[in-house]
Amino acid sequence: MSKCTLAVWSGIDAEAEDDYNAWYDREHMFERVSVPGIRRARHYRTVSGAPKFFTYFELDEPAVVSSGVYFAQTNNPSPWTQRILPHFRDVNRTASHVIRRIGQGFGAAAMTVRLSLVGGRDDALETWLAEQWLPEAITRPGVIAGQIWRADIDASSQPGQDRDLRPEEDAISDLTIFVEATDPGRLEELALERHLSEALADAETRSPPQIAVHQLLNGAESDEASEI
For residue 205, pLDDT over 90 is answered with yes
pLDDT at residue 33 in the model: 95
Nearest 10 degrees: CA dihedral of 175, 43, 222, 64?
A: -30
Cα dihedral 114, 136, 109, 166, rounded to 10, equals: 10
The 10s digit of each residue's pLDDT in 35-45 is 999 999 999 99
Cα torsion at 165, 21, 7, 159 (round to 10°)?
-10
**Whether residue 222 has pLDDT greater than 80:** yes
Summarised one tens digit per residue, pLDDT across range 1-33 is 679 999 999 999 999 999 999 999 999 999 999
Instruction: Write the pLDDT tens digit of every residue in 62-94.
Output: 889 989 999 999 999 999 999 999 999 999 999
Q: Is 90 exceeded by the pLDDT of residue 228?
A: no
What value does the mean pLDDT of the chain take? 95
How many residues belong to the chain? 228
Query: Is CATH 3.40.50.720 the classification given to domain 4-221?
Result: no
**pLDDT at residue 138, as a whole number:** 95
What residue ranges do the domains of the chain occupy?
4-221
DSSP letter for 171, please.
B
